[in-house]
Structures are given as C-alpha cells and as structure tokens.
C-alpha cells in the first residue's frame, strides 16, 4: 500500500492569519480517510491547498496517481492536478447550473479527451466517435450513481441530494485515483445519508480509489472512515482509527467544550 | 377605479412634464409665443391609455410565467417553432432560396441592406461566442471589425494584396489582436471586463484616427479595390451583387462553424467557464487556454466581416467603428438570445432591417426603435429565441425497466 497523497507540514497564511499550520496527512491507496473538525478549523482551506486552488505558503504536497510517478503538486495549476488524477466535490455545490445533468458529467471528460478547434470545425471521423464515447461514458456514470433518468434536465432543477450525487458523478468522470469529498452529506436527510454511505463504499470497492472526505455527520464518519484526522484552529490535534479518535480527550474538548463530560 | 385614478394622475404628470417642449413654442424672431394646446390633449390621452394598458400587460406576463413554471405546457410560440425540426428545415430552405434570388430581383439598395444585415449576422455570431457561450461581457467588438477592415485596406494599399488573400489574413490578425487583449484581462470578469474591453475599443479607434501617416487619420483609406471575379472587370452594381454572394457564403460558413464549435468539447468548456470558473478548473479545464480561445474565436469573425465591409464600401474611416457599433452588436446578441445562434440571426434582422425599412417614418425611427427595445427587455428578457441546451439520446435497453435508481 503506497501513499496516494502525502502532505508534509503544509501551512497556509492569508495575510497575518494562519489558516493552516504544519498539517501532515497521508492517504493510502484504497483507503477511506476522514478529516473532521469544528467549523472554521481549516478543512476546506486544506482541500483548496491540495487541489492547488490555493498555493500553500509552506510545506509539500506529494501525489502518486495509480499509474504514475510521485509528483509534487503544490503550486501546480488546478486543472493539471485534476488531469493527474485528483477530483473533488465542493462544500457549497458548484454545478454548472444552466447546463443539463448529462452535460455536467460530459464536461468532466474534458481532461481525458482531446478534440480541439480544428476537430470541432471540420469533424474528422475521430471527433464524432470521441463525442459518442463521451456521451456513453457520461451516461454510464449517471446510471452508476442513479441519475440517468434526469439526464436532460437542467442541473439546477435537481433536488439537493441529487445535486450532491451529481457532483460526485462529475468528479468520477475525470477518472481520479483520489476522490476528495467536501461535506457530501451536508443538507441530506438520514435516508439520503445512508444511501450516500453505500455509494461511497461502492465507489471505493468497485473503482479502486482512495477517498478523503470532510464530514460533519459523525455517525457517517465513524462507520465509513478507516482513519480519521481531526483539525482545530488550523492544526491537526489527533489522528487514528475511529475508536482512538472518539476517545481522545483533546477531540472531545474541541467538539464539546472545556468542561463537558461526554 | 383605483387604476383609473392612477392613470389619470400619470397622464397629468406627463402633461406637466412635456408642457415646455410640446406646448409652448417661442418664436425668437417675431417675438411671439404659440400655445399648442391640442398637443397637450394628445399627450394626456396617450399617456392615460398607455398607463392603463401597462399594468395589464405586466400582469399577463406574470400569469404566463407562473403557468410556465408549474406546467411547462404553454411554450412560447417562438420556442415551439424553433423546436420543430421539420418546420425549421423548410424555413431554412425557403430563406436560402429567397436570399439567393434577392440580388437578381431586387434593387442595388435592397442588396446593400442585405449585405449589411449579413455582416451583422457574422459580427453577432462572433460576439455570441464570447458573450453568450463563454459569458464574458465584451464591449469592444467594433475594434476587431475595424482591425479586419483596416488590415485589408492597408495591406492592399501598401502591398497590393488582393481580397482573397486578405480575407483569411484579416481574420487571423483580428484573432491575434483578440489574444493580445485577452492576456491582460484574464483575471477580470463581468463589469470590470466590460470596462476594459470598452477602453480597448476606444484605443483602437483613436489610434486609427491619429496615426495619420499610416492610416490616413480621420479621412480614412479610400479606393480600396473590390474583390475581382477571375480577372473580370465588374461595374459597381455587379460588384455589389458579387460581394453579396461572398458575404452570404461567409455568413453560412459562420453559422455552421459557430454551431459546431458550440456543440463540441471546446464549446462545452466555454460554457463551463461561463457557469463557474473554479468548478471548471476543478474539472481539468485550463481556464487560461479556454479564455484565450473564446476571445480569438469570437474576434476572428469580426475580422472577416471587417475585410468584407472594406471591400464593399471601398472607403473606410474610423467613424464607422465607434462604440455605438459595439453597442449595436451587443444588442443583437442580447435581444436575439444569448448563446442562441438562431436568436442572433433574428436579432440582427430586427436591429438592422427594421430601422432600414422604417425610413418612411424617419423622424420617429429612433423612438420606435428604442420603444421596441424597452418593450422587448420587459416582456421577453431572455431574448427572441433563448438558448436551449442540447437534448441527448442514449440507447439504453433497461432505462425504462430500472426506472432511475434511488433518486
């Protein structure tokens, strides 16, 4: 088991504010890892750092795709990070709202296809074939995630839970080796959360993918994750198996306050 | 009753407002004042009736909108026409035949109007890639029109280049200029981008106006050769017809090319850029590359149109490429329906042909034009024919039996 993602001592400063302070984190292949912490602990900032939307002030982010070299990705362009094999979803859903459900997934095939301007204008035989493949692969993914009956609906017209699942389908379409899920269960009811849990497990097992997720739903985190990292005020305060983390005094303190007896 | 009272008040207010300009006429030579009371009465009645109709029309629109969102059964007549493939095909063939026949039947005047209509179709479709598809608010399109026109004018003046060589070159130069503009504005969006592109348009015009040694300054470039037809000498009317067919073919090429680009991997990336830049990058799309592509793809068409324009008029000067021109092209796109090619063509017809054929009412032309624009934006803000997403079909044997998973 090699480390798909290896983050060493990453820090992020916004002016004088230290949003992340020397965070170390590893995700091994085929593993489900959770990152938890109170609001404002820096979890999403951490995601933005490893997907290169932000460039970390200090520290290194190493990424090893399934069939590839170990690469340093801090400071790389975000689209190249995705091309390498890291895909993410967003905490506040960022679908392409005015496009159809199928098109949302088709766009994500962009980095795995290559038809250019000349191809678009003159349509040599390879281009329509590639288009057809994109449609079919995207449809297959929609079906996998259970949204294929909505394929021609506008993305913004989907119910909330379905929009979150569509974001996952879109991320899967980039053929990632590591999937980052930012609060995938936020705003879902218990049934939807349960279904999502099975979906995440299914993706890990069938697509052989490492998954790193941020989540507030503790029952989901505890039953899903093999390892958990806990953050508070930009620092890692604990890590380990769900059992270890849930009995850690500092974690209990961070979540329940100073004098609580949980 | 309440509405009547309100309308009465509105009409009184309008009578008061327009009193100085519509009623009093001071003759400064004979030192007399003429009171035109019947104007006052006309304005009173007119504004009263209009203010009565206005809320009713607005209510009707609200009602139809509510119906749309609940049932979606009541589709607008234009939408329905555009959706029906057979009707559409028949209309296209009929229009094509009409357009092919017009210069042979109509006068030079008619041909000229249609040439300018088709030029605006090309310009509008080009701008539509930038504004409608990629969602970048762009106010300097006339600059690239100018760059295309001056490319041909100057290349033929200094190097004796012919039309057919200048046509692709003009497009290329305009596309390169689009790239040059795109680099500094990569980080800008929305209002800021609009202001920078507006500035760029003015810069280009001012350079053309003041670089007299090269461009001839405000007096422009004259005696630009018309396109030749296999060495034959054409008289003015014939050359005009020839230019008409060139621009017709060019417009058709534009329509096909833009439709193909929109419906391709690149086109989807452009749309993703419009929808959400961060998500677009997270999907592995190179934001910078796509933005540059949007600019160069859009401005190239303006370059082509410019070359044809220069060849048609044989004389160009900077006054043809003011901000007003950019505004008209943008209006064509917005009025027609952002991102919709058919809409842009209709928009061009509306904005170019209507003012031209309304010359009979020449004094009220601009008022009618402005009123039409305002009404349009109030009652159909999405444009004449709004852009519609493509409907995809996939052959899936168990799509109906499985019934869509747990959604």
Q: Where are the domains of chain B?
A: 2-70, 106-379
- C-alpha torsion B387→B389→B391→B394, nearest 10: 160
Position B19 confidence tier, pLDDT thresholds 50, 70, 90: confident
* CATH topology (fold) of A1-85+176-262: Rossmann fold (3.40.50)
Q: Chain A partners of B268 at a C-beta cutoff of 8 Å? A: 99, 103, 106-107, 110
Query: Do residues B140 and B117 touch, judged by C-beta distance below 8 A?
Result: no
CA distances from B359 to A70, A71, A181, B207, B347 (A): 71, 68, 62, 34, 19
Which pLDDT value is given to residue B247?
Answer: 94
Q: Measure the CA–CA gap between B167 and A156, rounded to whole angstroms.
A: 43
CB A146 to CB B406 under 8 A? yes
Query: Do residues A24 and A7 touch, judged by C-beta distance below 8 A?
Result: yes
Among B268, B324, B259, which residue's Cα sits nearest to residue B121? B259
CA distances from B170 to A188, B206, B228, B305 (A): 56, 20, 17, 9
Among B278, B271, B272, B277, which residue's Cα sits nearest to residue A52? B278
Q: What is the nearest CA distance from A153 to chain B, expressed in angstroms?
A: 9
Across the interface, which of A82, A127, A139 has its CB nearest the CB of B284? Answer: A82
CB A135 to CB B279 under 8 A? no
Q: What is the nearest CA distance from B304 to chain A, expressed in angstroms?
A: 16
Q: Chain B partners of A163 at a C-beta cutoff of 8 Å? A: none
Average pLDDT, chain B: 85
Query: Do residues B146 and B322 touch, judged by C-beta distance below 8 A?
Result: no
Which pLDDT value is given to residue A177?
Answer: 92
Q: Which residue shows structure tokens 């559409």?
A: B88
Which A residues, 122 through 151, put their C-beta within 8 Å of a C-beta on chain B?
123, 127, 130-131, 134-136, 139, 143, 145-151
Position A258 confidence tier, pLDDT thresholds 50, 70, 90: low
CB A51 to CB B392 under 8 A? no
Across the interface, which of B260, B268, B394 has its CB nearest the CB of A123? Answer: B260
Q: Chain A partners of B293 at a C-beta cutoff of 8 Å? A: 117
Could you give the angle at the alpha carbon of B190 between the alpha carbons of B184 and B195, nearest 5°?
60
Dihedral sign, Cα of residue A199, residue A205, residue A210, residue A214: positive
CB A107 to CB B394 under 8 A? no
User: Per-domain residue ranges for chain A?
Assistant: 1-85+176-262, 95-175
Residue B227: is its pLDDT beyond 70? yes
Q: Measure the CA–CA gap between B387 and B341, rounded to whole angstroms.
A: 8
Search chain A and give the residue with CA nearest B253: A121
Q: Chain A partners of B283 at a C-beta cutoff of 8 Å? A: 79, 82, 107-108, 110-111, 170, 174
CB A77 to CB B286 under 8 A? yes
Which pLDDT value is given to residue B156?
Answer: 92
CB B268 to CB A162 under 8 A? no
Q: Which residue shows structure tokens 């079906």?
A: A143
Query: Do residues B251 and B118 touch, judged by C-beta distance below 8 A?
Result: yes
What is the distance, to the nearest Å, from the Cα of residue A3 to the centroid of all Cα atoms in its chain? 16
* A96 touching chain B per CB within 8 A: yes
Which pLDDT value is given to residue B402?
Answer: 43
Q: What is the ipTM of this complex?
A: 0.88
CB B264 to CB A127 under 8 A? yes
CB B405 to CB A146 under 8 A? yes
Element (H, E) at A55: none
Q: Measure the CA–CA gap between B381 and B61, rounded to whole angstroms.
A: 11
Task: From the options 2.60.40, 3.40.50, 1.10.3470, 1.10.287, give the CATH code of B106-379.
Answer: 1.10.3470
Search chain B and give the residue with CA nearest A157: B69
Which tokens sit at B405?
Answer: 């998973």
What confidence tens digit (pLDDT) does each residue in A18-62 have?
999 999 999 999 899 999 988 888 999 999 999 999 999 999 999
Could you give the angle at the alpha carbon of A17 between the alpha carbons of A14 and A21, nearest 5°?
90
Query: Do residues B254 and B122 touch, judged by C-beta distance below 8 A?
Result: yes
What confidence tens digit (pLDDT) does each residue in B179-195 have?
998 888 888 878 899 99
Across the interface, which of B265, B281, B297 has its CB nearest the CB of A113? Answer: B265
Mean pLDDT over B339-368 rounds to 81
Mean pLDDT over A146-173 rounds to 91
Position B73 confidence tier, pLDDT thresholds 50, 70, 90: very low
């Amino acid at each position: 088991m090699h480390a798909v993602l290896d983050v060493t001592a990453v820090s992020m400063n916004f002016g004088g504010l230290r949003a992340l302070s020397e965070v170390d984190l590893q995700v091994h292949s085929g593993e489900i890892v959770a990152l938890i912490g109170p609001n404002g602990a820096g979890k999403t900032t951490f995601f933005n750092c490893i997907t290169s939307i932000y460039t970390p002030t200090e520290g290194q982010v190493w990424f090893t795709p399934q069939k590839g070299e170990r690469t340093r990705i801090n400071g790389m362009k975000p689209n190249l990070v995705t091309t390498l094999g890291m895909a993410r979803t967003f905490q506040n859903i960022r679908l392409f709202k005015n496009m159809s459900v199928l098109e949302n997934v088709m766009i994500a095939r962009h980095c795995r296809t290559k038809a250019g301007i000349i191809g678009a204008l003159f349509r040599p035989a390879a281009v329509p074939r590639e288009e057809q493949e994109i449609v079919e692969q995207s449809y297959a993914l929609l079906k996998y995630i259970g949204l294929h009956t909505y394929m021609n609906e506008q993305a913004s017209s989907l119910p909330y839970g379905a929009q979150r699942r569509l974001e996952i389908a879109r991320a899967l379409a980039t053929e990632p080796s590591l999937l980052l899920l930012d609060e995938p269960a936020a705003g879902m009811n218990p049934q939807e959360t349960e279904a999502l849990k099975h979906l995440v497990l299914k993706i890990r097992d069938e697509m052989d993918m490492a998954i790193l997720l941020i989540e507030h739903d503790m029952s989901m985190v505890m039953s899903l994750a093999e390892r958990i990292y806990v953050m508070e005020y930009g620092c890692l305060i604990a890590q380990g198996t769900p059992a270890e983390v849930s009995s850690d005094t500092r974690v209990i303190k961070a979540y329940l306050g100073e004098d609580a007896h949980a | 009753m309440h509405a009547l009272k309100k309308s009465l008040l509105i009409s009184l207010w309008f009578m008061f407002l327009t009193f100085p300009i519509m009623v009093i006429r001071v003759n400064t030579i004979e030192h007399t004042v003429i009171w035109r009371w019947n104007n006052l009465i006309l304005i009173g009645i007119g504004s009263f009736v209009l203010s009565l109709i206005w809320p009713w029309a607005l209510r009707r629109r609200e009602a139809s909108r509510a119906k749309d969102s609940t049932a979606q059964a009541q589709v607008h007549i234009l939408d329905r026409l555009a959706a029906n493939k057979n009707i559409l095909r028949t209309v296209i063939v009929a229009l094509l035949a009409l357009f092919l026949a017009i210069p042979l039947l109509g006068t030079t005047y008619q041909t000229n109007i249609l040439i300018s209509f088709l030029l605006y179709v090309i310009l509008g479709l080009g701008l539509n890639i930038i504004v409608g598809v990629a969602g970048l608010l762009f106010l300097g399109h006339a600059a690239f029109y100018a760059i295309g026109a001056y490319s041909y004018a100057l290349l033929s003046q200094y190097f004796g280049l012919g039309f057919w060589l200048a046509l692709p070159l003009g497009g290329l130069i305009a596309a390169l200029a689009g790239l040059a503009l795109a680099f500094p504005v990569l980080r800008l969006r929305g209002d800021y981008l609009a202001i920078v592109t507006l500035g760029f348009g003015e810069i280009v015009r001012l350079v053309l106006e003041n670089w007299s040694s090269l461009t001839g300054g405000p007096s422009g470039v004259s005696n630009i050769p018309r396109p030749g037809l296999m060495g034959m000498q054409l008289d003015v009317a014939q050359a005009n017809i020839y230019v008409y067919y060139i621009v017709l073919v060019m417009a058709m090429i534009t329509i096909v090319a833009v439709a193909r680009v929109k419906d391709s991997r690149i086109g989807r990336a452009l749309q993703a850029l419009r929808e959400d830049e961060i998500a677009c990058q997270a999907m592995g799309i190179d934001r910078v590359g796509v933005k540059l592509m949007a600019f160069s793809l859009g401005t190239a068409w303006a370059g082509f149109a410019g070359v044809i324009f220069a060849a048609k008029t044989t004389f160009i000067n900077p006054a043809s490429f003011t901000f007003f021109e950019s505004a008209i092209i943008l209006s064509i796109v917005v009025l027609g329906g952002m991102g919709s090619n058919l809409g842009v063509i209709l928009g061009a017809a509306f904005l170019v042909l209507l003012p031209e054929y309304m010359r009979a009412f020449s004094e009220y032309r601009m008022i009618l034009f402005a009123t039409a624009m305002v009404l349009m934006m109030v009652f159909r803000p999405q444009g004449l024919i709004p852009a519609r997403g493509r409907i995809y079909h996939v052959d899936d044997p168990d799509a109906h039996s499985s019934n869509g998973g747990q959604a």
